[in-house]
């Protein structure tokens, strides 16, 4: 019997946030499994996860990468282990609210979408966070849309919920943050129906542990181009309306 939802949590040096985010995920009243993939943490996160493993319920499964390989590698491992009918990614920080899971699952379970993105800016720019990050996201999302032919609001959100059957078609290879636009390019290439739903977003700053940098964004553009070339420059787009 497959759980309704698999929540994949890639984790690297999140000692202060991993327990709070797990509490928030577990508080969501949805039948689910939680898959934590530690990507070679060195700040005590790994040891804390081993402690959690000794007292966790059956709904939490923990996997330890032998070394730091990048977010993409951790996400791919989580996808490989997922058993749920729907799979989504939850970063181990506290920027996004797991109570928004219901918005992401509804269009999929009603048969209106194959994939739903949790778009962080459909309700406007958040007051917190750097203007540079916001402007960079807008620019990089536009570039991704130009290359894929999609019309998405937030390509770089970690909240990407999809039917488990979607995963094998993506041909994911990126080890770093480039996995975000690579997923989008893979979805566009395979013609899956994508929609977006607004989610609550409380961005943290670099001093608080935010890891992505603008250079990761431009590397992601190159990833989108490479993914397009793997399909001989064509995308089989089958997009639903931009928001739900």
Same domain flag for 238 and 128: yes
The 3 state secondary structure assigned to 98-113 is HHHHHHHHHHHHCCCC
The per-residue pLDDT string of the chain (244 residues; one tens digit each, 9 = 90 and over) reads: 789 999 999 999 999 999 999 999 999 999 999 999 999 999 999 999 999 888 866 789 999 999 999 999 999 999 999 999 999 999 999 999 999 999 999 999 999 999 999 999 887 666 555 677 778 778 888 888 988 899 999 998 999 999 999 999 998 998 988 898 899 989 998 999 999 999 999 885 655 445 566 566 666 667 667 766 655 555 555 556 555 4
Position 29 scores a pLDDT of: 96
Beta-strand relationship, 86-89 and 5-11: parallel
For residues 36 and 132, what is the distance between their CA atoms, to the nearest angstrom? 30
Cβ(16)–Cβ(42) under 8 Å?
no
Same domain flag for 239 and 155: yes
Q: Which two tokens stand for residue 62?
A: 């923990």
Q: How many CA atoms lie within 13 A of 121 on its CB side?
A: 17
Same domain flag for 146 and 34: no
Looking at the DSSP assignment, which residues form a beta bridge with residue 87?
6, 162
Position 127 scores a pLDDT of: 59
Same domain flag for 146 and 220: yes
pTM to 2 decimals?
A: 0.86
Cα pseudo-dihedral 197, 95, 50, 164, rounded to 10:
10
Position 121 scores a pLDDT of: 86
Structural domain total, the chain = 2
Same domain flag for 116 and 151: yes
Which residue segment(s) compose the domain that 107 sits in? Answer: 99-244
Assign residue 96 a region: left if phi > 0, alpha if psi is -120 to 50, beta otherwise? beta
Q: For residue 76, which phi and psi values (nearest 5 degrees)?
A: -60, -40
What's the distance, CA 187 to chain centroid?
A: 13
Position 57 scores a pLDDT of: 67
Could you count the other beta carbons within 10 Å of the beta carbon of residue 235? 19
Q: How many CA atoms lie within 13 A of 108 on its CB side?
A: 27
């Amino acid at each position: 019997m497959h759980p309704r939802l698999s929540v994949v949590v890639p984790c690297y040096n999140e000692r202060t946030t991993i327990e709070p985010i797990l509490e928030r995920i577990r508080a969501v009243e949805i039948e689910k499994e939680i898959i934590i993939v530690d990507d070679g943490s060195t700040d005590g996160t790994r040891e804390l996860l081993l402690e959690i493993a000794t007292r966790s319920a059956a709904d939490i499964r923990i996997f330890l990468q032998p070394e730091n390989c990048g977010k993409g590698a951790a996400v791919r491992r989580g996808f490989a282990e997922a058993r749920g009918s729907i799979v989504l990614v939850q970063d181990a920080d506290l920027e996004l609210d797991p109570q928004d899971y219901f918005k992401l699952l509804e269009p999929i379970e009603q048969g209106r979408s194959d994939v739903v993105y949790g778009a962080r800016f459909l309700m406007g720019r958040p007051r917190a966070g750097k203007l540079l990050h916001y402007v960079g996201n807008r620019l990089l999302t536009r570039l991704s849309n130009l290359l894929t032919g999609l019309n998405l609001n937030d390509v770089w959100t970690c909240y990407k919920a999809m039917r488990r059957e979607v995963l094998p078609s993506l041909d994911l290879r990126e080890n770093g943050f480039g996995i975000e636009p690579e997923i989008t390019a893979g979805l566009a290439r395979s013609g899956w129906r994508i929609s977006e739903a607004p989610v609550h977003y409380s961005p943290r700053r670099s001093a608080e542990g935010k890891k992505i940098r603008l250079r990761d964004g431009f590397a992601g553009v190159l990833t989108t181009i490479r993914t397009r070339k793997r399909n001989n420059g064509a995308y089989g787009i089958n997009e639903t309306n931009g928001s739900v």
